[in-house]
Each structure stands twice: as C-alpha cells, then as structure tokens.
Amino acid sequence: MKKAILILMAVTMVTLANAQPFQKGTTMVNAGVGLGTALGGLGKARPAISVSLDHGFWEIGGPGVISLGGYIGNTGYKYTDPGYTAKWNYIIVGARGAYHYNGFELPELDVYGGAMLGYNIVSYSADGGGTELSNSYGSGLGFSGFLGGRWLFNSNLGAYAELGYGVSVLSAGLTFKF
C-alpha cells in the first residue's frame, strides 16, 4: 500500500512539473460531448458534439492571455409518429475570443471566459402522408458567451468543462495542448 501511494505521489509530481499555464503561443483543442441545449426540436435528441480551438495571442497587463480561435458543433432531433417523421439538424460554426486567467499558482489549471460570433445552420425535413418537406429555416448569425476551465493531467492532455451557448449548454471532454 505504501509503495502504491509513493508511486502515485511521484507520478503526480512529474505531471505537475510538466504542466505550464496557458500563455502566448499556446494552442489547445477541446473535443467534447454536450448536455442540454437551447436549440429547438421535438422527439429524441442526438448527442451534441463539439470541437473548439484556442490560440494564445496577447499577454495583457495582469495575469492573463487573450486567445482567438474557432468552434464547430452539431446536434439534432428526430421525431417519429406512425406515418410521419421529422428531423432537425443544427451545425454551429463560430469564431471566438477568450481571456485566460493564469494568476493561480496551479499551472495545470486554465480558467477562461469569452465570447463567440457564430453562424447556426439549421435544416429541417419531414416525411409523412406521401409528402416530403425540406427546409432550411432559422439559420443565422448569433452572439454568445462562455465560461470554462481545463485541468491538464500532463503537458499534452487534460479535461475541460464549458458553460455557454453552442450546440449545448454544458460541454465536457478532453483537451489537447500543442
């Protein structure tokens, strides 16, 4: 038991020693699954998936870095009734900027908040009673905010969670540092 605890402590120290805070020149990619959505649809929801990228561009006064990046996410709904099927599909593509606070004495922690300008591509199709309907409605530009955090397990891999408007209200998954 003592040997296992010592090994765990050694691995933890090596992991912490390799972690560096988000800084100018850092690039991180989040890949995750979402819970909850503000996007409409009836029936059974398809899991929301998203990928986002942040690259540190500017160090600013105080402990922080400004990043710019992108976002893409997808979710949808399918409603089936005898003789009728309707499907909604949402794809959000956006550009985002964030402030990463690195004043904590935990280099493996990245806390950030920002804004995104995105385009929501909405498609709808329905088939029932011998008539097929297809439409692209509700597509358009949108502005949203987000708050998130990342915890790096080592110098390249970690986990993240993010609250905000995208294809889901809460997104969580893996983060990769380059």
Residues of the chain with pLDDT under 70: 1-20, 38, 40-43, 129-137
Distance CA 76, CA 82 (A): 20
Q: Is residue 4 included in any domain, yes or no?
A: no
When divided into structural domains, the chain yields a total of: 1
Q: What is the pLDDT of residues 73-113, one digit of tens each?
A: 999 888 888 888 888 899 999 999 999 998 888 889 999 99
Q: Is residue 26 included in any domain, yes or no?
A: no
Distance CA 1, CA 36 (A): 42
Quick one: pLDDT at residue 41?
62
Range of the structural domain that residue 47 is part of? 34-177
Q: Is residue 153 included in any domain, yes or no?
A: yes
Q: Is residue 5 included in any domain, yes or no?
A: no
Q: Is residue 158 included in any domain, yes or no?
A: yes
Q: Is residue 28 included in any domain, yes or no?
A: no
Residue 56: both structure tokens together: 């540190």
Q: Is residue 8 included in any domain, yes or no?
A: no
Q: What is the CATH number of the domain that holds 52?
A: 2.40.160
Quick one: pLDDT at residue 100?
95
Q: Is residue 27 included in any domain, yes or no?
A: no
Which residues fall within 8 angstroms of residue 39, CB to CB, at 6 or more apart? 75, 88, 90, 120, 167
